Amino acid sequence: MEKRKIGSLQVTVAGLGCNNFGWRIDAAATEKVVNAALNAGINFFDTADMYDTGHSEEFLARALGNRRKSVVIGTKFGMKMGEGKEGARPEYVRQACEDSLRRLQTDYIDLYQLHRPDPNTPIAETLGALDELVKAGKVREIGASNFSAEQIREAESAAAGRVRFVSVQNEYSMMHREPEDEVIAECGRLGLALIPYFPLANGLLTGKYRSGQPMPKGSRGDTGFGPKVFTEENLALAGRLAEFAESRGHTLLELAFAWLLAQETVASVIAGASQAEQVRANASAVDWRLSAADLQQVDRILGKVKAA
């Protein structure tokens, strides 16, 4: 599978989002998903300390076993993990890192990401703590998540010769194009990799949802997850995108991946999965290369869609 750079890291263009581990699937099911990812050639696993309050990291470590050194692990800190355990204060950054290292059963984190900006802590202080972790060999590269273009610029300026963010993980898909306003341009200017989350728009772009048809039982649409996404307007738009993909011998899922990977700053598409079959479908979806004419046609279909 093709690989792209996140700083010094080489990651596969299809990654595995580990947000389902724990709260949606147990340790045994997690192992099946992780094994399917490895067998499909995926080397990038993205998790966070707050995914099921640490169980995602624990389940990932258990599933990887002695294969840890052959993969790239990204995790995050900053969301609330308990009383006084949130944010990006230097002392908490150090504690959160130690906690994640323990749960991941590793002595280093490949990509350590600030899950969201902390308005109560100057970014220079956070970067100072992260710089210490990199120099200590506990972290290889650092990234940001849910940052605006202005916050990206502020962080770059505050780095001042110390370790700097090499990636930005924001929501981005054909149904949510907000990063195109400023963030993508800033990533390009600074040489930062963009890691889109919710690349399938909470499942809307998997192809299993159709306008005028009942939601698949037990699916996110059926259970009310992401109600803003599953509108009749969006379902109709997804239907038109599916028709375009099928006219070229591909699926809507493959189009969702191909469209993101056609954006120069995107390094890896990290879709979550709760079953091995989903991982295999995601891994095979990266083979389609959209032509300039294809991209123009998709843009015409999307029109002025900016957010789901």
CATH of the domain at 23: 3.20.20.100
The total of structural domains in the chain comes to: 1
pLDDT of residue 230: 82
Is the CA virtual torsion 49, 45, 34, 63 positive or negative?
negative
**What's the pLDDT at 223?**
52
Q: Side chain identity at 17, as an amino acid letter?
A: G
Residue-wise pLDDT tens digits, 72-124: 999 999 999 999 899 999 999 999 999 999 999 999 999 999 999 999 999 99
Residue 50 within any structural domain of the chain: yes
**Mean pLDDT of the region 191-218:** 83
pLDDT tens digit sequence for 234-292: 999 999 999 999 999 999 999 999 999 999 999 999 999 999 999 999 999 999 999 99
> What would the mean pLDDT of 126-153 be, rounded to a whole number?
98
In a domain, 92, yes or no: yes
Q: Cα-atom radius of gyration of the chain, to the nearest Å? A: 19
Model confidence at 233: pLDDT above 70: yes
pLDDT for 231: 87
Instruction: Supply the pLDDT for residue 209.
Output: 74
Per-residue pLDDT, averaged over 57-78, amounts to 98
Catalytic member of 51, 112, 172, 197: 51
Q: How far apart are CA 165 and CA 191, in angstroms?
A: 10
The model's pLDDT over 17-28, given as tens digits with 9 standing for 90+, comes to: 999 999 999 999
Structure confidence at residue 308 as a pLDDT band (50, 70, 90):
very low
188 part of a folded domain: yes
Residue 157 lies in a domain: yes
- Active-site residue, 51 included: yes
Q: What is the mean pLDDT of residues 164-184?
A: 96
Which stretch of DSSP H or E encloses residue 187? helix 183-190
Please check whether residue 249 lies inside any domain of the structure.
no
Task: For residue 62, give its domain range.
Answer: 3-209+254-290
Indicate if the pLDDT at residue 172 is higher than 80. yes
Mean pLDDT of the chain: 93
13 domain-assigned: yes
Q: Are 9 and 250 in contact (CB under 8 A)?
A: no
Residue 237 lies in a domain: no
CB 115 within 8 A of CB 170: no
Tell me: the pLDDT tens digits for 31-46? 999 999 999 999 999 9
Is the pLDDT assigned to residue 130 strictly greater than 90?
yes
Domain annotation covers residue 277: yes
Strand partners, 169: 145, 195
The CA distance from 82 to 185, in Å, is 36
How would residue 307 be classed by pLDDT, with cut points 50, 70 and 90? very low
Residue 217 vs residue 127, higher pLDDT: 127
